[in-house]
Amino acid sequence: MGKADYLSLGDWNALCDVCGFKFKASMLKFRWDNLYTCPRCWEERHPQDFIRGVQDIQTPPWVRPDPGADNQNWNYVPGCTPTSISAISGNLASGCVICGRIWPGYPIQSSP
């Protein structure tokens, strides 16, 4: 005979789901993980179980289309490069040429 083996009208014997000892059913408490436990084995649910993450929005607030993606609407504006500022015909860009300048790295072809 154990300590839970006595007559209590409307109550019955039940086992703790954690420790396995016998108790009256009215002494057991229902726990958050669906277990009936004795007062010694009962524990509260950890507060960290209720924390929700903050949504991380990684899209920028505004965007523009890539002009290179659609060749029909691509307006290319040439810039000045070392070869386009040289005064060598065939490599000129308007607004960039400096008269008398030859880019030192430009291979000059000698005519036969």
pTM: 0.47
* Sequence-separated (6 or more) residues with CB below 8 Å from residue 27: 38, 39
**In this predicted model, what pLDDT tens digit does every residue of 52-94 receive, in sequence order?**
999 888 888 888 876 656 555 555 556 677 666 666 666 666 7
Decide if 28 contacts 19 (C-beta within 8 A): no
More confident residue, 23 or 112: 23
Mean pLDDT over 90-100 rounds to 70
**Burial (Cβ within 10 Å: 0-12, 13-18, ≥19) of residue 25:** middle
C-alpha 27/C-alpha 53 separation (Å) is 37
Q: What's the N-to-C CA distance of the chain in angstroms?
A: 121
